[in-house]
Structure 1
Amino acid sequence: MMSSETMLVSPFPSFEGGFTPWDSQELFSIFQSQEPVLSNSGSDESNRKPVNSNSGSDGPNRKPLHSNSGSDGPNREDSAAEERKRRRMISNRESARRSRMRKQKHIENLRNQLNQLRIQNRELTNRLRSFTYHSHLVDSDNVQLRSEAIILRRKLSEFRQILVFRQLQRQISSAWPCNSVTTSVNEQTPSLIT
């Protein structure tokens, strides 16, 4: 991208003091004025009129020119306005600098919070993995214990049956005096236990 200075090269030589022809139009606008310039060297300020020029370059920064040989009141007003403008510009720069610093600090705080939340997220993810791992271990132990409980219930049931059978056998042996039935039952009982 080219700068505006290199694109607008003046074919006219500059005047003494660095004025270009279009800058010097303001200086010569006094002579092109349609209204006469009234000069008043007295103290009557009511007859003073601003100098109007029709050079076509009236901008928002143009101020009426006063021909005044008695006092420099408008110069003071101009310098006071320039001073206010300068102070406002400095104040705006300081305000913009403070705003940039606040934004930068806010962004830095957000970055710190992001880093802290990432660390917390990593810790929570690790804890969740550990919990899931231990949960799987507990589930597998639980399945194993349930299968062992089923086996132990069966054995317990078998032992109860054996005890009931022995009690019946005793009752039968005490009721029948015949030993042959008792011996045959005793021979069958060990096979049930093993």
Structure 2
Amino acid sequence: MLSAQEAIQLGHPGHGPGFTANEIQELPSLLQPPSPSQNSGSWGSSQAVYSADEKKRRRKESNRESARRSRWRKKKYLENLTQQLNRLKIENRELQNRLGSIINQSHALWRENDHLMSESMALKARLSGLRHLLVAMNAMQQAQ
């Protein structure tokens, strides 16, 4: 079986393993479950503190990375919201312009309709007068 040092050196050529010498020496003990004797004595307690410190350091690093990703997602989300807001403002302006144009057309049509209604009433009155005149003329012709 390979030692931890040999196994790490067999990695991809040109790409370092990314481990420090202390971490390499620490790997075998991390892979084995702790024995009860390791918890007693000065070496065991310093080993446990180092592992806890290493866990704490890695957790902090993981939290920093998570926070960085969270800030990036929030930034992208806000950028998308800003773009959407700008698009909606433009669309709102265009719709307001269209509504204004339609309202103006509506007012013009109402005015034209009022004018035509007045003209229709005047023509109906004139037609009624002409009918009365025609009836009167027919009555005079029949009387003669």
Q: Same fold (TM over 0.5)?
A: yes
CA distance in 2, matches of 1:176, 1:93: 121
For structure 2, the residue ranges without an aligned partner over 5 or more in a row are 1-36
Which of these residues, 81, 84, 88, is aligned with residue 48 of structure 2? 84
Which of these residues, 85, 88, 112, is aligned with residue 124 of structure 1? 88
The 5-angstrom pairing of residues 1-194 of structure 1 reads 77-177=41-141
Shift of 1:173: 0.1
Deviations 1:46-68 (A, max 9, x none): xxxxxxxxxxxxxxxxxxxxxxx
> SS of the counterpart of 2:41?
helix
Deviations 1:37-85 (A, max 9, x none): xxxxxxxxxxxxxxxxxxxxxxxxxxxxxxxxxxxx9xx7111111111
CA distance in 2, matches of 1:94, 1:177: 120
- Please, what is the CA RMSD of the aligned residues? 1.7
CA distance in 2, matches of 1:149, 1:177: 41
Letter in 2 for 1:89: D
Letter in 1 for 2:52: R
CA distance in 2, matches of 1:153, 1:133: 30
> SS of the counterpart of 2:123?
helix
> SS of the counterpart of 1:177?
helix
CA distance in 2, matches of 1:143, 1:156: 20
CA distance in 2, matches of 1:137, 1:80: 84
Higher alpha-carbon Rg: 1
TM, length-normalised to structure 1: 0.51
Letter in 1 for 2:83: I
Letter in 1 for 2:63: S
Considering fraction of residues, name the structure with more helix: 2
Structure 1's consecutive aligned runs of 4 or more residues displaced over 6 angstroms after TM superposition are none
Shift of 1:161: 1.1
Letter in 1 for 2:134: R
Letter in 2 for 1:142: S
TM, length-normalised to structure 2: 0.68
Shift of 1:154: 0.9
CA distance in 2, matches of 1:77, 1:87: 16
Counterpart for residue 183 of structure 1: none
